[in-house]
Chain A
Amino acid sequence: MSYRVVHYINQFFANIGGEEMAHVPPELREGHVGPGLAFNQAWKGEAEIVQTIVCGDSYFAEHEKDAKAQVLAWVKEAKPDLFIAGPAFNAGRYGYACANVALAVKEELGIPVLTGMYEENPGADMKEKILIVATTNSAAGMRKAAPAMAKLAMKLMRGEALGASCEEGYMPNGVRKNFFEKERGSKRAVDMLLAKLAEKPFTTEYPMPSFDRVAPNKAIKDLSKATIALCTSGGIVPKGNPDHIESSSASHYGEYCLDGVDVLTAETYETAHGGYDPVYANENPNRVLPVDVMREFEREGKIGKLHNYFYTTVGNGTAVASAKKFAMEYAQKLLQANVNAVIMTST
C-alpha cells in the first residue's frame, strides 16, 4: 500500500486563472492536479496524491479563518500520511497561504507537512515552524523544486531522521544538525575569507542570532520637573509577597503603591528573588530599590517627583518572552501616568 498525500495549490497552478480568478473559494478535487503530477512521478508509486485542494490566493487572504477551517475539515476526513503545499516560489499570498495552512494541519491534526517557496517569500517567515524547501523565485524552478520536495516528503512519510538543512534542501529551521562537509573546516575558512576579501558572496555556517535593538530615547531636559519611576527585576515586594511572585520563572509582575513610603524597611519589604543571596536585600531593600535616595532628591527638588507606583518582578530563570510581556504591559501604564523616565535595577 502506498502513502496517501493531500496537496494544496492555488487557482493559478490549478489552471483556473490568474489574478482575476484569485477570489475562488476552496475546492476539493480527487487525485493530482497541476504540479502534483511531478510529485507522483518522483514517488514512483510509493506515495500518491489522493486529493488536491485548490484555493484562490485572495480568497485565502480575505477569509483566512473560513478557508483554513474548510481545508482542515477536508484533510481530517482524508487522513493522509502527509500534507504538501505549493511550491509557491515568489508568489507572496500563495506562499503565505501554503505556510499557514500547513502550520494549521501540523498543529491541529498532527500530520507531517511540507511546503516550498523562495526564501524571500513572506511565507518563509514561518521556516522555524514548518519545513519549507527553498526554491528559485519563479515557477521555472519547478523541475528542481519538485524532486527536492518529493525526496524530503518521502523521508517524512517513512519517519526517517532528517539530515542538516543544507543537505536536505529545507530552509534552516533553528534546529542545528551535524553532518560531514566535503572539505575540512580550515579549508572552508580560508575559502570563506578569500571570498570575503574579494567581496564575493559567501554563506556563514552559523548566522549570528539577531538581537533587535531599540534606539535610545531623548534625554530628560529638566530633571526638576520630571516624574521618574523605579522598576526592578530584583524581586522587591511588600513583606509577605502578597501576589505570590515566584522565586524563579516568574509568571507575573507586581505593581505596588509608594504613597507615604519614605524608605523601604526590613519590616515592610523583602525580596522574592531566588537567584541570589537574599540576606542583604531583606536587611535593607533600598540596596535593590533606592526609594530612600529618590525621596531625598524629591524633597531637594533635584527631581520633580518619584512615581507613586513601582513595578517589580523576578528575573531569575524567567523566560525572555515573559519578561518582555510584563514590561510591555507596565510601560503602557507608565506612559498613561506621564512618567518621564525609568530607573531599572537588576541583581
Chain B
Amino acid sequence: MKLELGFIQIKDIQFSKECKVENGTLYVNADEVKDFVFKDDDVKACVKAAHFDIAKPGESVRITPVKDVIEPRVKVEGPGGEFPGVIAKVDTVGSGKTHVLRGMAVVTAGKIVGFQEGVIDMSGPGADYTPFSKLLNLVLVCEPVEGVHQHEYEHAVRIAGLRAATFVGELGRAVTPDDTQEFETYGIKEGIEKFPDLPRVAYVHMLQSQGLLHDTYVYGVDAKRSLTTIIYPTETMDGAILSGNCVSACDKNTTYHHQNNPVVADLFAQHGKTLNYVCNIITNENVYLADKMRSSDWSAKLCRLLDLDGVIVSQEGFGNPDTDLIMNTKKIEQMGVKTTIITDEYAGQDGKSQSLADADPLADAVVTGGNANEVIILPAMDKVIGTLDYVDKIAGGHAGSLRPDGTIEAELQVITGATNEMGFNCLSAR
C-alpha cells in the first residue's frame, strides 16, 4: 500500500473574515469553524460554549487543561477520508494522497476529568519538554453543559477537536504542497522478493485501552474490544488511529502522535536500506489478566506467523500496562524474534525507585523517554488559554503545585507528551 503525503508548511495563523491557506498562512474565521463543529448533535448536546485562541512558539502562553492535539489533514486522492469510522465513513485509508498542514495543530482544551489533562507551555523551561511548543496551535477551548456525564462529554470534545481539524485540513485541499513524500510497504511475498537479504521488522504498537476514559480508537472501534491485529503503517499515518485518552499527560499518545508516529517514520527511513518494514501489529492494554494474556499471546503469534526477525514495541501509559509491555516482549522474544522496547519511567522524584512495575531479563534492549516523576518548576506565563483551576489536581501535580504568582511546581507528568513512549522526544534517563 502506497501513501503520498503532501506537506503544506504553515508559517502563521491569523483570525480573519475568511477561511483559507495562502502563502503559508492559515486564515481562520472562528465562527465558521465553530458552526461546523457544532453541526454534530453530540457536540451540540454536551458542549455549552467553545471559543478559539491562537498560541505561537516563543509566546508567554500556557495552554491547560489540554485534552488532545490533532494535525489538520485532507484526503485529496484515493479511498477514505479523514478519521475514518469517526468523522469520515469507514473505508480503508493509507493509500492515495493526503495533504498535511505541517507546523500547526488543533489543540482541544478545557476541563474533562480535571486531573488527567495536561499543560503546554509555549516558552520557558516547560516548552523544552513538549513537542507542541514548537507548533502554531489553534486552540479550541470547550465548556461542558451543566450536569453532562463525563463519558459523553469526553466523546463530544473528542469529536469537536476532530471536526475542527477536519474543517481546517479541508482548507489545504487545493493548495500545492511545499514537499511531497511517498511511503510504501509490500505484501509478504513481494517484500521477501524485493529485499531477500534484509531483516524483517515490524512495529508492535500498544494502544491504551484501560477504559474509564483511557481509550484509543481504530477506525472508530474501541481498541479494548479488539484482538491484536495487523495494520499497514500508512493507515496509521493517514488517521486510522486516534486518541480518546484522559490519562497522565506525559505519556499519553495524542492523535498528533498517532498521525506522526515516530517509530513508523524512523522505520520507513530505514525501509529497503537496512531492514524490510513489514507492518504494524496493534495490540491493547486491557485491565483483565485474561485479556492481557490473550492479547500478548496474539502479538507473539503474529510475529511468528509473519516470520519476523525483529520488532520495536512501544507502550502507552504506566502501571499495569507495564505488565502488558513485559508480557509482549517476553513472549515475542521466546518466539525467537528480537525486540527493542520504548517505555518511560516512574522512578520517584528522587529517581531511586524501581522504574517499571514489571520486569523481565528478556527485555534487554530498552529505550526510555525519561523519569516522569522528576520535578520541574514552570514560571508563570503572561497568558493562560483554558484555566489554571485544575493544576493542583492534575496527575503529577499536588496541593500547592500552583503558587499564588502563577508558578507551577509539579512532576513532568503534567506536561503533554513529555515522556512519550513512541520515542517522539530526545528526553531520556540513566
List of B residues within 8 angstroms of A208 by Cβ? 359-361, 363-364, 366
Inter-chain contact B426/A181, CB cutoff 8 Å: yes
Contact A193 B368 (CB under 8 A): no
Which residue on chain B has the smallest CB distance to residue A198?
A: B199
- In the bound complex, do residue A185 and residue B342 qualify as a contact, i.e. CB atoms below 8 Å apart? yes
**Cβ–Cβ contact A205 & B426, under 8 A:** no
The SS class assigned to the B binding surface is: mixed
Binds B, one of A164-172, A278-286, A337-345: A164-172
In the complex, the answer to whether A204 meets B365 with C-beta atoms within 8 Å is yes
Which residues of chain A are within 8 angstroms of B263 by Cβ–Cβ distance? Answer: 186, 189-190
Verify B370–A211 contact, CB threshold 8 A.
no
Q: In the complex, which residues of chain B have a beta carbon less than 8 angstroms from the beta carbon of A209?
A: 354, 359
Alpha-carbon distance A116/B359, docked complex (angstroms)? 30
Q: Is A144 an interface residue (CB 8 A)?
A: no
Q: Which residue of A lies closest to B275 (CB)?
A: A194
Task: For A188, list chain B residues within 8 Å (CB).
Answer: 367, 423, 428
A154 at interface, CB cutoff 8 A: no
In B291-323, which residues have CB < 8 Å from any A CB?
309-312, 314
Are the CB atoms of A196 and B338 closer together than 8 Å? yes
Confirm or deny: B154 has a beta carbon within 8 angstroms of a beta carbon on chain A.
Answer: no
Binary per-residue interface labels of chain B (168-198) against chain A in the complex, 1 for a CB within 8 Å, 0 otherwise: 0000000000000000000000000000000
Q: Is the CB of A184 within 8 A of B424?
A: yes
27 contacts between A and B (CB under 8 A): A164-B430, A175-B351, A176-B347, A176-B355, A178-B412, A179-B428, A183-B426, A184-B424, A184-B426, A185-B262, A185-B428, A186-B262, A186-B263, A186-B312, A186-B422, A187-B266, A188-B428, A190-B263, A194-B199, A196-B310, A196-B340, A197-B338, A205-B428, A205-B430, A206-B345, A206-B366, A211-B359
A338 to B404, CA, bound (A): 68
A206 to B351, CA, bound (A): 13
Q: B310 contacts which chain A residues (CB < 8 A)? A: 193, 196-197
Q: Which residues from chain B sit less than 8 Å from chain A, CB to CB?
A: 128, 199, 201, 262-263, 265-267, 269-270, 274-275, 309-312, 314, 338-343, 345, 347, 350-352, 354-356, 359-361, 363-371, 374, 412, 420-430
Minimum CB–CB distance for B83 against chain A, Å: 23
Shortest Cβ distance from B47 into chain A, in angstroms?
A: 35
Chain B residues positioned under 8 Å from A164 (CB to CB): 428-430
Q: Which residue of A lies closest to B313 (CB)?
A: A189
Question: In the complex, A148→B355 CA distance in Å?
Answer: 28
B428: chain A residues within 8 A (beta carbon): 164, 178-181, 185, 188, 205
Task: Give every chain A residue within 8 A of B365 (Cβ-Cβ).
Answer: 192-193, 196, 202, 204
Query: How far is A202 from B360 in the complex, measured between Cα atoms in Å?
Result: 18
Contact between A193 and B425, CB atoms less than 8 A apart: no
Q: Does A324 contact B (CB under 8 A)?
A: no
Residue of A nearest to B372 (CB): A178
Q: Determine the distance from Cα of A167 to Cα of B269 in the docked complex, in whole angstroms.
A: 28
- A189 contacts B423, CB within 8 Å? yes
